Structure 1
Amino acid sequence: MKSNSLIAEFVGTFTLVLFGAGTAAVTGSVLAAALAFGFALMVIVVQFGKISGAHVNPAVTLGLLADKKIERKTAIGYILFQLAGGAFAGLVLWLVLPPSFASTYGATTLTSGLQVYQGFVIEMILTFLLVGTIYQAAVNKSGGALTPVIIGGALTVAILLGGTLTGGSLNFARTLGPLISEALAGTLAIGSLIDVAIVYGAGTLAGGILATLVHSKIFKNPEE
């Protein structure tokens, strides 16, 4: 595990959360946020894909660890730096956003009436679709030169589908950033943290692991 790969994961995750959650906070639009996250991820994959793999998401890293595509030590380092990058983005959002845009800092929340178990299932399914796309495009190399566009497009579509329901996280580091912002602003609802852990932590990680196992066993590259 090289230090530049850890730095790439930190910078990549920071960029993703800053621009994605920042757009969500400023515009309040699911469409704008989906496009911001998608285009940001495209750029990140181009910049850091050959350095660290541009995981920028604990669900991707943990999924690849479950499929033994990455060493445990490297996976732990990646996840720690991803979370640090997301948290740092939250700090920056708290510092730069004026009060008129800082009510939620682009936080991912369940829409009114949606139960925690429903949020868990939604985040798991959306993350499954995203990580499955990443696995085929990048790991099985079926995406070719279009890999960044395919991966970014998959994230955009997933957020468009789930944004109004759960906020469309698919990435615990993305959820962590605005949580840090809210904590610093004194607006964090402590009682919601268990729900956050279930929906955006367990839900996304389960989706990532399930995706890599399904795609590696059932949709295995025939050339391997």
Structure 2
Amino acid sequence: MKKYGAEFLGTFWLVFGGCGSALFSAAIPPMGIGYIGVSFAFGLTVLTMAYAVGPISGGHFNPAVTLGVFAGGRISSKEVLPYIVSQLLGAVAAAALLYVIVTGNVEPYVFDNTKPGAFAANGYGDLSPHGYNLKAAFLAEFILTMFFILIILGTTDARANGKFAGLAIGLALVLIHLISIPITNTSVNPARSTSQAIFAGGGFLSQLWLFWVAPIAGGIVGGLIYKGFFSKE
């Protein structure tokens, strides 16, 4: 239960910090943090929780990471489903609190789920921040998640300097967001996509499948590549 609690809190912090920065701070003139700030916010959430609770659960905070790490032979099959459930619960709890906060402003929160980025949700086509189509979105999410898993497995390998694993993983997530916020608003994490789509509704829910399939496929491929080519065995 300590592991599952750690995954709940870690995923909660990722969604609350990352999506919260997008909702509250990204576009406020003249001091808005923009894409760069949001990218660092997501990276910092993972970096901080990797050191805080990573020693307990491994610091996945992401179903695609859990399945990628499983494909890489690092966790047992019996842990996969409880990890994913814990991550989803943490993400949805964070999104619910974000909704309460963002709608508590004196000025009514303008919520238009026909436009990209509503409630920091992920999308493609008309719901992509810069109009990228389904194929582009799928490729970006697949490739970025695959490399994210390779980085995670490599930096946490017994042969690596584990003291710097959290830093490398957090910075990798910053880079991933810098690349793909314009494409999909960056997912690489089905739990993060699900929590925001639930509250955004509309077309974001019908597009949610991509943000499960592409990251999970990329995560599994990344895990298999590391296990097959780079593991010590």
TM-score for the superposition, normalised by structure 2: 0.86
Matched, 1:100 2:109: yes
Q: Is the 8 A contact 1:91 1:180 kept in 2?
A: no
Aligned-residue offset at 1:141: 4.9
Deviation at 1:50, TM superposition (A): 0.9
Aligned residues: 213
Calculate the TM-score normalised by the size of structure 1.
Answer: 0.89
Query: For the Cα contact (< 8 Å) 2:123–2:204, is it kept in 1?
Result: no
CA distance in 2, matches of 1:31, 1:7: 30
2:84 and 2:68 map into 1 onto residues whose CA distance is 12
Q: Deviations over 1:152-176 (max 9, x none)?
A: 0000001000111111111011112
Whole-Å Cα distance in 1 between the matches of residues 209 and 17 of structure 2?
23
2:165 maps to which residue?
147
> Partners of 1:209 and 1:171 in 2: how far apart?
13
| Superposed CA RMSD | 1.7
Q: Letter of the aligned partner of 2:16 in structure 1?
A: L
The match for 2:31 is none
Q: Could you tell me how far 1:31 is from its partner in structure 2?
A: 1.1
**Alpha-carbon separation, structure 2, partners of 1:195 and 1:114:** 13
Give the Cα–Cα distance (whole angstroms) in 2 for the partners of residues 135 and 71 of structure 1: 15
Q: Which moved more, 1:106-115 or 1:71-80?
A: 106-115
- Candidates 209, 219, 223, aligned match of 1:197: 209
Cα distance in 2 for partners of 1:102, 1:53 equals 36
Query: CA separation of 1:193/1:179 partners in 2, compared to 1, >3 Å: closer, same or farther?
Result: closer
Q: CA deviation at 1:101?
A: 6.9
Q: Any idea what the Cα deviations from partners look like across 1:166-209, whole Å, max 9, x if unmatched?
A: 11111011112212332xxxxx11x44342212x1100001100
Aligned-pair distance for 1:218?
1.4
Structure 1: gaps (5+ residues): 183-187
Does the C-alpha gap of structure 1 residues 216 and 23 become closer, same or farther in structure 2, counting only changes over 3 Å?
A: same
Dislocated runs of 4+, deviation >3 Å: 98-103
Which amino acid letter does the alignment assign opposite residue 109 of structure 2? Answer: S
Distance, in Å, in 2 between the alignment partners of 1:75 and 1:125 is 22
Is 1:211 aligned to 2:222, yes or no?
yes
- How much has 1:220 moved relative to structure 2? 2.3
Evaluate the alpha carbon distance shift between residue 143 and residue 196 of structure 1 in structure 2; reply closer, same or farther with a 3 A threshold. farther
Q: Is the 8 A contact 2:12 2:93 kept in 1?
A: yes
Instruction: Note the residue ranges of structure 2 that are not aligned, 5 or more in a row.
Output: 28-33, 113-117
Q: Whole-Å Cα distance in 2 between the matches of residues 5 and 154 of structure 1? A: 23
Shift of 1:216: 1.3
Partners of 1:22 and 1:105 within 8 A in 2: no
Q: CA deviation at 1:115?
A: 1.6
Q: How does 1:1-224 map to 2 (within 5 A)?
A: 3-26=1-24, 27-28=26-27, 29-98=34-103, 99-100=108-109, 104-110=118-124, 111=128, 112-182=130-200, 188-189=201-202, 191-198=203-210, 200-221=211-232, 224=233
Could you tell me how far apart the structure 2 residues matched to 1:101 and 1:38 are? 27
Q: Identity over aligned residues, as a percent? A: 31
